[in-house]
Amino acid sequence: MPEPAVPPTPPVPLAALLAREDLGLRQIAGPRDPATTIHWAHASEMADPYPYLLGGELLLTAGVHVPRQQAAGLGSYFADYVSRIVAAGGAALGFGVAPVHDTVPTALVAACDSAGLPLVEVPPRTTFSGVARAVWQLMAQARLAELRRVTEAQQSLAAAASRPDPVPSVLRRLAQRVGGWAVLYGPEGTEVASAGRAPGDAVRGALARLPQIVSGRASSTTTATDTVAGTHLAAYGLGPGRGFVLGVASPEGVPGDHTIASVAAVLLSLLTGEHRSGSGAARSFALVRLLLGAPPEEVAGLLGGGRWVVVHARPDVRAPDAVAASALGAALGSPLVDLADDVVRVLVPAERDTAAQPGWTLGVSAPAAPRDWPSADTQAARALARARATRTALVRHGARPALAALVPPDAAAAHARALLAPLDGRPALTETLRAWLSLHGSWDRTAVALAVHRNTVRQRVARCASLLEADLDDPDVRMELWFALRQ
């Protein structure tokens, strides 16, 4: 008989359902184990419910299917009925009193006691739909608690990764969050570092064997799991070819542990990758030299590239965090990542193909030498604004020769200052005019790009036209203003 497939929902303790005073449920048979959980509530009056159960359910019945002569306990009807529920993986049985039966049949009580199936009496005033709704409410509470726990763990792990001793700090925080033991195995299978309460020799030995399984696979996301003496064991490979493996021993069946350990594995993958290749030290050297006054082109060699592109990115759903920013940098092929406000900036070697990333909106600058990085940063910001306004996954800064190249820079700058002088000290007006012109005078797309109301855009543009004494419907005027704004 195959194992029942339990639905992928957070389990609800049966004791929590019994504690609901509004339901008035009472367990009258079967083991009273606090660890008993249910994944679903399902009502059925079939004599054989086996084909309709997924496993883990609280099966609700009013006994309509019970032959009248069996209610008094004659025959093996209830024994067969309960055995089929147990075989299907049912977690508990709820029997509704009235309108069919005045009491729970004594033969059913005996059968549940014999089979070890919890039997719950549902009083007449409680409907089966009310029981099912209560199960869903408890599931929602459990899911919310699980998400809150995972979110808090992600934040604490990211903070630990920024400490001076990042690897031990991440292991300590992981062990605290899962209530177990975390260990980093090196390429030879030796324990590099560990944290938490070390398990017994049997569990520790079983966990030490899992890295051999993980290291023999090609994928960077492989895992191996086992259960020994009621302890859940998991091993996470930290990248192909590196040989580092994260091992975790935690109490079995705690929701969210796998997600939390996966976040730790991503962070440790980045950390161990830096230590192994030496690139982390090289970036530190480059940063120190920049802070001490060295020009960017002098330290660019330490970063491993000649020309670069700057990428500005924003997630489509929520504000980015350190883990998401690092993951984006890894996807783009660069560890040079900066997280500021709601934007992630990544410095990527120009020879790498910068492609759109699922869940992100990207603006990409033109390739630039180190001395031109500030200009490239501005290009990427404008490209991102255009991408968000046009709802495009990736927009690149145009690299065609511009009209500005025909005018000496000093003369162009002087002309721009004179033309835009009425807007001096009004950055909101200047930025609105720039965005509005770049989006061909679209009020809606400019409002999206600037995160303001479209009426605000109209008011600002009208104010610009008044201060500049210019007809913004004239394409020649628009062209001249756009030329000035780009200086």
CATH number at residue 255: 3.30.450.30
123 and 167 co-located in one domain: no
Nearest to 380 by CA among 396, 400, 356: 396
Nearest to 61 by CA among 36, 15, 22, 52: 52
- Give the pLDDT confidence score for residue 74 in this predicted structure: 57
> DSSP class of residue 11?
-
* Percent of residues, the chain, with pLDDT higher than 70: 86
Check whether 317 has a pLDDT greater than 80.
no
Placement of tokens 């509004």 in the chain: 22
339 and 453 co-located in one domain: no
- Helices 427-438 & 454-468, crossing angle to 10 degrees? 100
Q: In this predicted model, which residue has the larger pLDDT, 407 or 482? A: 482
170 and 268 co-located in one domain: yes
339 and 440 co-located in one domain: no
End-to-end Cα separation, the chain, in angstroms: 75
Question: How far apart (Å, rounded) are the C-alpha atoms in residues 73 and 107?
Answer: 5
Mean pLDDT along residues 180-202: 86
Nearest to 97 by CA among 131, 76, 120: 120
197 and 217 co-located in one domain: yes
309 and 386 co-located in one domain: yes
Residue 6 lies in a domain: no
CATH code for position 468 = 1.10.10.2840
Residue 153 lies in a domain: no
391 and 408 co-located in one domain: no
Containing 210, the helix (H) or strand (E) segment is: helix 201-215
CATH code for position 17 = 3.40.1390.20
460 and 391 co-located in one domain: no
Determine the longest span between alpha carbons in the chain, in angstroms. Answer: 106
User: pTM for the whole thing?
Assistant: 0.46
Structural domain boundaries, residue 311: 305-396
168 and 250 co-located in one domain: yes
- Give the pLDDT confidence score for residue 164 in this predicted structure: 63
> What is the rounded average pLDDT for all residues in the chain?
83
**Which of the residue ranges 279-288, 318-327, 434-443 has the most confident prediction, judged by mean pLDDT?**
434-443
Mean pLDDT along residues 195-217: 83
The band of 364, judged by pLDDT with boundaries at 50, 70 and 90, is: very high
Q: In this predicted model, which residue has the larger pLDDT, 326 or 133? A: 133
- Give the pLDDT confidence score for residue 400 in this predicted structure: 53
What does the pLDDT look like over 421-474, one tens digit per residue? Answer: 999 889 899 999 988 998 888 898 888 888 889 899 999 999 999 999 988 888
Strand intervals (E) in 214-334: 223-228, 231-237, 245-251, 308-315
420 and 450 co-located in one domain: yes
Strand arrangement of the beta sheet that strand 119-122 belongs to: 26-29, 119-122, 92-96, 57-61, 40-43
Containing 130, the helix (H) or strand (E) segment is: helix 128-161
Residue 452 lies in a domain: yes
| Domain final position from 105, 138, 171 | 138
Residue 288 lies in a domain: no
Indicate the number of domains in the chain.
4
Residue 154 lies in a domain: no
Placement of tokens 């993958």 in the chain: 269
Question: How far apart (Å, rounded) are the C-alpha atoms in residues 311 and 346?
Answer: 5
Mean pLDDT along residues 44-58: 91
Question: How far apart (Å, rounded) are the C-alpha atoms in residues 41 and 268?
Answer: 41
* Percent of residues, the chain, with pLDDT higher than 90: 27
Residue 174 lies in a domain: yes
Placement of tokens 């660890």 in the chain: 35
124 and 17 co-located in one domain: yes
> DSSP class of residue 293?
T
Containing 364, the helix (H) or strand (E) segment is: strand 360-364
Residue 363 lies in a domain: yes
Is residue 484 left, alpha or beta, with left meaning phi > 0 and alpha meaning psi from -120 to 50? Answer: alpha
- Give the pLDDT confidence score for residue 218 in this predicted structure: 47
Q: Is the peptide bond before 99 cis (omega within 30 degrees of 0)?
A: yes
263 and 172 co-located in one domain: yes
| Domain final position from 235, 257, 277 | 277
Compute the radius of gyration of the chain from its Cα atoms.
Answer: 32
Q: Helix and strand tally (H, E) in the chain?
A: 16, 17
Residue 268 lies in a domain: yes
| Domain final position from 259, 277, 295 | 277
- Give the pLDDT confidence score for residue 5 in this predicted structure: 46
Q: Which of 116-125, 303-312, 398-407 has the lowest mean pLDDT?
A: 398-407
Question: How far apart (Å, rounded) are the C-alpha atoms in residues 29 and 15?
Answer: 14
The band of 240, judged by pLDDT with boundaries at 50, 70 and 90, is: low
